A and B are shown apart, each in its own frame.
Chain A
Amino acid sequence: GQQVMQIPQYQHVQEGEDFTTYCNSSTTLSNIQWYKQRPGGHPVFLIQLVKSGEVKKQKRLTFQFGEAKKNSSLHITATQTTDVGTYFCARYNFNKFYFGSGTKLNVKP
């Protein structure tokens, strides 16, 4: 249906290692958004992808939208302890946002 599937559910990395979370849909997405939620905090918007094959970068974060617009990924290069939190993808359709279940990232110093 409208859900987006997100994997993995958890990821534990050593500081300095890379991290990737994936978001998949069975149907074509008009857009995909990514959010970060720190422990005990609220979701904070990171980015929106709209175009097929789009790649956007924010410092150490790289966001990709698949060519078929059915999947997306968020890659963090050389993780830092400040990257700790849960990363969510969300699709938007007819005034409604549908969130993935999130990937919880833990970074060991």
Chain B
Amino acid sequence: NAGVTQTPKFQVLKTGQSMTLQCAQDMNHEYMSWYRQDPGMGLRLIHYSVGAGITDQGEVPNGYNVSRSTTEDFPLRLLSAAPSQTSVYFCASRRQRVAGVTDTQYFGPGTRLTVL
């Protein structure tokens, strides 16, 4: 089990460029999500998905798109990068909620993105 994997680990973009951050999990988890982490602000939810073909917005969705065509993959697209999107991005997955079962989230190693 590789768990949750993310690529790339580091990325530098110029303002206005677009790119896709990749996330994959091999635990057959229904729920996947993307967070950004900025200094002193904890993690903020960008988008999430409760299964293939189903996505929804989190706290800070503007400037980001997601899709979920398979259970395993949940890519995050930056449409036109801005310096305000400089952050560390984490992907996470868990089983969809089952009564009485702990909602453990497993996080990937993160992507450190700088937008110049």
Chain A residues near B (Cβ < 8 Å): 6, 9, 31, 33, 41-45, 48, 88, 90, 92, 95-102
Contacts and interface: CB of A to CB of B under 8 A. Distances in A.
B64 interface: no
Of listed A43, A92, A98, A100, residue having the most chain B CB within 10 A:
A43
Given A42-B110, A48-B102, A98 B50 contact: no
Nearest to B48: A95
Interface residues of B, number: 25
Of listed A42, A88, A92, A98, residue having the most chain B CB within 10 A:
A42
23 contacts: A6-B42, A9-B40, A31-B103, A33-B105, A42-B90, A42-B107, A43-B43, A43-B105, A43-B107, A45-B106, A88-B42, A92-B103, A95-B31, A95-B48, A95-B50, A95-B56, A96-B58, A97-B33, A97-B45, A97-B105, A99-B35, A101-B41, A101-B42
A44 B107 contact: yes
Nearest to B38: A101
Interface string B21-63: 0000000000101010000111111001010000010110000
A100 B33 CA distance: 17
B104 A48 contact: yes
A43 B58 CA distance: 18
Given A48-B102, A95-B50, A99-B43, 6 more contacts: A6-B42, A92-B103, A95-B31, A96-B45, A98-B45, A101-B42
Nearest to A1: B59
Closest 8 CB pairs of A and B: A99-B42, A42-B107, A101-B42, A99-B43, A48-B102, A45-B104, A43-B107, A102-B42
Of listed B42, B56, B102, residue having the most chain A CB within 10 A:
B42
A101 B40 contact: yes
B59 A98 contact: yes
Contacts of A43: 43, 90, 105, 107
Contact of B48 (A9, A90, A96, A100): A96
